[in-house]
Amino acid sequence: MSTESFITTNVVDDDILVINLRGKLDSATTKEFEDVVQQHFDEGKSKIIIDCAHLGFISSLGIGSLVRMQARLKKRGGAVKLAALQGMAAEILRAVRVDKMLDIYGDAEFARQSFSQ
């Protein structure tokens, strides 16, 4: 587990990285988020679930980061999947049609199961 409060991580099914975000994914936090993703990308992982149950807000920097991540993971045959989106973060992501590019699930467990289908 990360010691940072904004972001915590765990690995399920050996190769799926689950990232739990809390608060805001914006100019103050996107770099930290990308550093965590990069570390696991460097380890060869290509499946990521982002649990957004406690994500209240996302700006275009955070959105761009998600889109960039999806493109990189797809090249490796993987994907980033969003889970438990709610509130303003869900509204913003749908407004810019990120739901057309990333799969969104009701919770992290559904997202996990989808990787094995």
Partner 1 sequence: MAKPPAWNITCVLASRENAADALLSETEKQLEGRGWDERDRYCVRLALEEAFNNAMEHGNRRDETKHVTVDCRIDGDRFSASVADEGDGFDPEAVADCLDPENLLRTRGRGVFLMHTYMDRVRYNETGNCVTLEKSASRDAQQG
**What are the residues binding partner 1 (CB under 8 A)?**
26-28, 31, 56-57, 59-61, 63-65, 67-68, 71, 88, 92, 95-97, 100-101
State whether residue 52 is helix, strand or coil: strand
**85-117: b (≥16 Cβ within 10 Å) or e:** beeebbebbeeeebeeebbbbeebeebbeebee
- To partner 1, the closest distance from the beta carbon of 60 in angstroms equals 4
- To partner 1, the closest distance from the beta carbon of 113 in angstroms equals 26
- To partner 1, the closest distance from the beta carbon of 105 in angstroms equals 20
Place of tokens 């904004």: 6
* Complex with partner 1: residue 15 or 26, whichever CB lies closer: 26
